[in-house]
Amino acid sequence: MSHLTNKDIFKKIEDWAPISLGYDWDNNGLQVGSASNEVENVLISLDVLEVTVDEAIEKNIDLIIAHHPLLFKGLKEIDFDTPKGRTIKKLIQHNISVYAAHTNLDIAEGGVNDLLAEKLSIQQTKPLVETSRTSLYKIIVYVPTEHIDTVKNALFDSGVGQLGNYSNCSFESTGQGQFKPLKEANPYSGAHNKLSITEEVKLEVIVSKEKLNNSINQLIKAHPYEEVAYDVYKLENKDKSLGIGRIGCLNEKTSVQLLCEQIKEEFKINKLRVSGDLAKTVQKVAIVGGSGEKFIHDAVKQNADVLITGDISFHLAQEAIELGLVVIDAGHYIEQIMKESVKNYLQTNFESKSINFIISDKNTDPFKFI
């Protein structure tokens, strides 16, 4: 029997995609259920529809992780005679929890928009629209000389020491540490009630806000001292730009027609919609998972040749043409790319635990092209 709870899974997802990254209007996090429930079987889905819940019941699922929130707008009633009401009723009856990672997973590094861009080999990407810059912190810790490599490696493994395109960054200076263990202490070195002086290294590393708490936990685990002396400072420096969508360049110029064929092949779709000239040569590409039509002006400002998104409306498609921007509507469902990546991420982080991560095999795309 697994001793993991939903909370363990939630924490790991939020290490990747903190809820704070998401838009205020969104509803990320626990939707139905309890964080304290034990979990053995996890279903990963794009959506949570009644068909998804039926699949979860059949597969003895404890937790559904979805991209699109089940509860998006406030509910005034839960009517069991409606599809939404039946879905919630089944979840509660079968003790199945639901967790959504929506715009936080869109914005996060390695999240939905990065996955979409990587699939099309879009290079040198950056956010199409910046929503925030992560805060940086400095950890300073004093380590006995013989343990410096152990502590450094534990910190680096937790994601500390990333500076731009460089990793494992740190600064070290040597000195002497002084302490007197009291009778209640269990000292790594020295004797009770006697002053001890030992050679120590002052280690300084930079860490992002999202990784700070985990890094401190790993530091304490790796450090030999009973009481670890460390300081944390918030820096004025800002870390990486985070935001919605991605913009970058294809390896080489291509026509809109050929780019459309590539999109259909990579995302396994039969049809898509295009506004603009199919013969136009393009290279700079903006991509926004889901409904990204409101970002056409941002794409134009960034000198994009083409915007790839879903759910483009008639009049905004006309406006894009007038602005000289090609828009490719590949459909909202291409966001299902998140299922495989979420599964791989969680399996890697819980590989030593008795827990099963299962990708939903239900197609929740409401559209068929005939």
Instruction: Give the per-residue pLDDT at 275.
Output: 96
Q: What is the pTM of this model?
A: 0.82
Amino acid letter for position 94: H
Cα 264 to the chain's mean position, in Å? 25
- Residues 6+ positions from 40 with CB-CB distance below 8 Å: 1, 2, 4, 62, 354, 355, 356
For the residues of 34-49, what is the DSSP string, one character each? -TTSB-SEEEEES---
* Res 132: pLDDT: 87
Quick one: pLDDT at residue 353? 84
Kindly give the parts of the chain with pLDDT less than 50. Answer: 1
Q: How far apart are CA 291 and CA 130, in angstroms?
A: 17
**Token pair in block for residue 335:** 């966001």
* Tens of pLDDT, residues 136-155: 999 999 999 999 999 999 99
Distances (CA, A) of 293 to 22, 37, 224, 266: 18, 39, 54, 22
Question: What does the pLDDT read at residue 2?
Answer: 56
CB 33 within 8 A of CB 95: yes
pLDDT in tens, 178-225: 999 999 999 999 899 999 999 999 999 999 887 899 999 999 999 999
